[in-house]
Amino acid sequence: MHRIVKQVGTGVLLCAVLFMTVPSRAQMAEGKDKFLGNIIAGTVPRNFVTYWNQVTPENAGKWGSVESSRNNMQWANLDRAYEFAKKWDYPFKQHNFIWGQQQPGWIASLPEDEQREEVEEWIRLYGERYPDTDMIDVVNEPIHAPPPYKEALGGDGETGWDWIIWAFEKARQYCPGAQLILNEYNVIHSNANINKMIEIANLLQERDLIDAIGVQGHYFELRYYAPTTLKNGLNRLAATGLPVYISEFDINEEDDDAQLLAYQKYFPLLWEHPGVKGITLWGYQQGAIWQTDAYLIRSDGTERPAMEWLWDYMTDSSVGKEAETSPSRFILYDNYPNPFNPATEIPYSLDEPGHVRLSIFDMLGREIRSYDSGMQHAGLHTFRWDTRDDAGNEMPGGHYVYQITVTTGRGIETDSRKMTLVR
């Protein structure tokens, strides 16, 4: 049995205190059968209802934010996000109950029986205070970041995931009206992680404890993988019969054209998948977002090209669903990971065939590694740097600059970015 999230609507503000003015144009996902949401970090942005129709508290819902001092609950920011969602009739998703990060520091020193009691109390108090919560990330990042008190909740146990089953049992007990979600990152491109998610989901389904799967969908999870790989991953998750939510989508690109291209490539792939029932972006305002360049609205209130395109895509049926859009010029992307050790990937896209030379410089301006590709076809390419110079010597930790020079029929174009090697 799956808990059904209420139909998304525009809602009416019932209280005298206005969070914002009523939008002058229809919200992007109004009338759609899935939501397009965003986070509220503390105060509610005045333009929130112009764009989004689902709410997730960013840090306000994390246990470490609410109870950083034992038995001293700080609910104010979570209250604000929850009340805003209820007044506008937007689905509200709690993020999260259990996660290996941003937990109260004091819990690690407690004996296991007290740890278990404190976790249950946290879930119970949340359920009592916010009884109309629509969705909950019960366990966040179970594969990558299990909590330090995992053993207190049952550890691996007979199933291999007993601690997760315990958490979902308590969430079902104290929050019976909410959809319960298992949320993770680096999933849809990884068969190993998909297998683990399905294994956990099956155990929870047998006990009627799970209602949906969450896939974070950050840019670093998507950018190096073919669309067919990502679609196949979504297909496998959807085959469980559970709805899939893209829970933390962002495109972190400083260059407007690069961000636009990535939105055109990845957003339709996710939005149009029949198994995906909603997408939540992880921030949208410049200066108020965890990834510095993932914003869609500049600090002066103007929209970046990706935001303009997203409006057209969501509201204009004549806009093509461009999952394989070509860049309007060559684009050099941020390397990933960064900082890095022992290697990093440097991706770039060509809008037409060209001759490519890639160089890496130290901070004294000395070229320590060069790569000459010859002619390359249009599309996405990647260069892997293993931290060695042209002579095969490993380079010391520090800052480096990578530069690409592309020669096409238009002439010669160059771009460069900084990266950090850690030792």
Q: Which two tokens stand for residue 281?
A: 């972006």
Phi, psi of 309 (to 5 degrees): -65, -40
Tokens 């989508």 correspond to 249
Q: What residues act catalytically? A: 141, 248
Q: How far apart are alpha carbons 168 and 178 in whole angstroms?
A: 11
Inter-residue contact 100 to 141 (CB < 8 Å): yes
**C-beta atoms surrounding 307 within 10 Å:** 20
